[in-house]
């Protein structure tokens, strides 16, 4: 059984409210426990920010949500991560299908050394695209429009994606993620390599995408987390150097009156 096959029957189980649920998740690299006992419910069509100092496990948790950690030798997960009520770590789940439904955008824009058009069609093609040329053109346009970059590239679709500016490359990467019609988009510090104007464009785009997608973003930029996200999760390393979830709640509450002193100290810049 695949995630796609079970999605329609299990939406009711999650009441449609949560896109992803982590239940008592522990993540190991070999014998080292990198993340300890994280339980978290990610609300659908909302932006959730993961914040915390370097090494607190937030990127590890993010990558676990679409099984990207599987690609790291020795990585292992205990607990469950539910997507439409189905544990994506069950043996019968195809990780490639998980990654199609839960896309990812990385810290550094990483367009393939191909044309803008081929960058967008890459995902659909490896997923067995069978459409016509006209349908492919339409898909490329829809993805580029969705990532708010169509107007800037429509006259140079067959030029290399690597020739675009950093901010445009990142939006191209978002368009590439949209092309396979995911439900969730994971963003790992998507603006850390971008200038302030490009950063604001990505943030505006995230707010647009929230209408149709669930977004989870890892960011070190507190102002960015407070600007764009609806919910914020604060992670911190414990005495064993394992990342743990300290506090999770509506962003407004976390950034005005957090419950945990450690959250307040981190947001105020007192450590990290």
Partner 1 sequence: MGAHHNMAHDYEYLRHTLDAMAHRVQNALHESLQALRRSDAIGASRIIRDDPDINALQRDVEDLVARFITQWQPMLRDLRRVLAMLAVAGELERIGDYAKQMAGQVRRARDANLPLLMTSELLELGALTEHIFSASIAAFLAEDVVAARSVAALDDQIDARRHAIIAALRQATLNDGSLFDAAIASIEITRALERVADRATNIAERTIYLATAAHESLNE
Nearest to partner 1 of 8, 223 (CB atom): 223
Stretch that binds partner 1, among 5-13, 90-98, 164-172, 253-261 (CB under 8 A): 253-261
How far apart, in whole angstroms, are the C-alpha atoms of residue 216 and residue 48?
5
264 binds partner 1 per the rule CB under 8 A: yes
Query: In the chain, what is the greatest distance between 2 CA atoms, to the nearest angstrom?
Result: 57
Nearest to partner 1 of 128, 269 (CB atom): 269
Q: What does the per-residue mask of binding to partner 1 show for 64-93, with x meaning CB under 8 A?
A: ------------------------------
Q: Is 98 helix (H, G, I), strand (E, B) or coil?
A: helix
How far apart, in whole angstroms, are the C-alpha atoms of residue 133 and residue 130?
10
135 binds partner 1 per the rule CB under 8 A: no
List all residues 6 or more positions away from 51 whose beta carbon is below 8 Å from its beta carbon. Answer: 58, 218, 219, 220, 222, 225, 232, 233, 234, 235, 266, 267
Q: Which runs of E-coded beta strand occur in 44-90?
A: 47-51, 75-83, 86-87
Nearest to partner 1 of 51, 173 (CB atom): 51
Q: What does the per-residue mask of binding to partner 1 show for 189-228, with x meaning CB under 8 A?
A: ---------------------------------xx-----
Nearest to partner 1 of 168, 251 (CB atom): 251
Nearest distance from C-beta of residue 271 to partner 1, angstroms: 8
257 binds partner 1 per the rule CB under 8 A: yes
The sign of the CA dihedral 78, 80, 83, 87 is: positive
SS3 content of the chain, % helix, strand, coil (to 5): 40, 25, 35
Nearest to partner 1 of 243, 258 (CB atom): 258
102 binds partner 1 per the rule CB under 8 A: no
The only residue of 17, 125, 154, 270 in contact with partner 1, by rule CB under 8 A: 270
How far apart, in whole angstroms, are the C-alpha atoms of residue 21 and residue 42?
6
The only residue of 13, 135, 256, 259 in contact with partner 1, by rule CB under 8 A: 256
List all residues 6 or more positions away from 221 whose beta carbon is below 8 Å from its beta carbon. Answer: 191, 192
CA–CA distance from 150 to each of 116, 132, 154, 155, 157 (Å)?
Answer: 11, 21, 5, 9, 9
Nearest distance from C-beta of residue 169 to partner 1, angstroms: 27
Stretch that binds partner 1, among 64-72, 76-84, 112-120, 251-259 (CB under 8 A): 251-259
Report the interface residues with partner 1, using CB under 8 A. 222-223, 255-258, 264, 267-271
């Amino acid at each position: 059984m695949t995630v796609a096959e079970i999605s329609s029957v299990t939406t009711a189980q999650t009441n449609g409210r949560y896109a992803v649920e982590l239940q008592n998740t522990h993540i190991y690299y070999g014998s080292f426990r990198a993340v300890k006992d994280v339980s978290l419910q990610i609300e659908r069509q909302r932006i959730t920010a993961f914040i915390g100092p370097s090494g607190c496990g937030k990127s590890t948790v993010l990558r676990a949500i679409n099984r990207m950690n599987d690609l790291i030798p020795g990585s292992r997960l205990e607990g469950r991560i539910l997507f439409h009520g189905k544990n994506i770590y069950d043996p019968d789940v195809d990780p490639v299908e998980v990654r199609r439904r839960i896309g990812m955008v990385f810290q550094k824009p990483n367009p393939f050394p191909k044309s803008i058009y081929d960058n967008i069609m890459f995902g659909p093609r490896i997923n067995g695209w069978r459409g016509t040329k006209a349908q492919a053109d339409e898909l490329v346009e829809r993805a580029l429009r969705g990532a708010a970059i169509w107007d800037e590239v429509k006259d140079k679709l067959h030029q290399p994606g690597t020739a675009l500016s950093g901010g445009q490359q990142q939006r191209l990467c978002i368009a590439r993620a949209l092309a396979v019609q995911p439900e969730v988009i994971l963003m790992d510090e998507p603006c850390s390599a971008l200038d302030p104007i490009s950063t604001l464009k990505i943030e505006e785009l995230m707010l647009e995408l929230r209408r149709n997608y669930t977004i989870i973003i890892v960011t070190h930029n507190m102002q960015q987390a407070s600007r764009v996200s609806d919910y914020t999760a604060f992670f911190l390393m414990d005495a064993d150097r394992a990342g743990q979830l300290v506090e999770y709640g509506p962003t407004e509450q976390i950034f005005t009156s957090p419950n945990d002193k450690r959250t307040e100290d981190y947001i105020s810049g007192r450590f990290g």
